[in-house]
Chains A and B, each alone.
Chain A
Amino acid sequence: MDSKLLEILACPLCKSPLLYNKQTQELICKADRLAYPIQDDIPVMLEDAARKILDEEYQALS
């Protein structure tokens, strides 16, 4: 995940900055508790494609 792209991308719903989770290959919006997948190095910034983050995952986010 390129830092320049991460600087520009935002959650499509609330437009907040995103956290990059390298292990799960996801971009996370803390405000909406959604994780957007990165498939084959391409971020999929669509609400339909996003996964709800579990409570314990949310707690673990810094």
Chain B
Amino acid sequence: MLVENDLKLDKRAVQFSFGNAAHHYHQYALLQRQVGDALFDRFSAGFIGQGSILDIGCGTGYFTEKILPLSSTVLAMDVAMPMLTTARQGLGAKSGLFYFSGDAEVLPLRSGSLDAIVSNLALQWCQNLLAVFTQTYRVLTTGGQLCFSTFGEATLSELRAAWARVDNYSHVNLFMSKERIGNLLVTAGFTNIEITTTRYQPHYPDVIALMRELKGVGAHNVNQGRPRGLTGKQQLQAVISAYEALASQAEGVLATFEVINVAARKSSSRLRRRG
């Protein structure tokens, strides 16, 4: 989850209606689809041929389904087995579509075995992005393409700012800047690196609805400065008030998601020299 784990322990203490559960995942799922659609347009424009494609962090398979028509071999990888079985239920058994569980930082794939690697809003949960880039570079064939979306540093800036008014702990995951991501890609050996950012600002009925949805996203706050104790009722109400003061709109509260879109290639040394 994007916010700390303590929220559920305090929920009875918070005088708040949580609304209906179906609503909670709606905005984030919509964001994933919007970002995935933009990623697909970018990827499919640069993907030539029928080579094998790996989808890192396939989740329930929304993006995997989109890339299926592009290749005769599609690998859907996720670290979580329930995601893979859900994806398989949705997409069904298809010839050339393979599911396996794996970690992007230690890819269980042979070197030079893939023509393209894609990932839609998954790499922000990896603790060592350089390892991810080194591994993806290794398994790509020469000329192969890496194309992904991830969260940038402005993501959830309102929530971070609201917590900063309450205490000095890190309650929200820190995300990388596009400059840092670009540097890591270069370090790993990638060339032809193109990075763009897009800002999405969905609305939530209230701050609790936002927090509950972020909890459901499935990663956790891995920051060093995360608080060890529980979040008290007063703290939670203070952060809600601070958030409302920062980002209230007629429709509720807004949350910023800065999405970084990346395309990069593993070029031959000759191409690299040429520029």
Contact = CB atoms under 8 A, between A and B. Distances in A.
Contact of B108 (A4, A10, A39): A10
B73 A45 contact: no
Contacts of B102: 12, 45-46
Nearest to A37: B101
A5 B100 CA distance: 9
A44 B101 contact: yes
Interface in B108-138: 108-111, 113-114, 138
Contacts of A42: 81, 84-85, 88, 99-101
B106 A9 contact: no
B109 A8 contact: yes
Contacts of B191: none
A37 to B, nearest CB: 10
Contacts of B75: 5, 8
Interface majority SS (helix, strand, loop, mixed), chain B? mixed
Contacts of B85: 40, 42
Contacts of A7: 110, 113
A20 to B, nearest CB: 13
Contacts of B108: 9-12, 36, 43, 45
A31 interface: no
Nearest to B114: A8
A8 B79 contact: no
Chain B CB count within 10 A is highest, among A8, A12, A17, A44, for A8
A46 B79 contact: yes
Contacts of A15: 109-111, 138
Nearest to B102: A45
A55 interface: no
B100 A44 contact: yes
Interface in B47-83: 52, 73, 75, 79, 81
Interface string A28-53: 00000000100111111111010000
Contacts of B110: 7-10, 15, 17
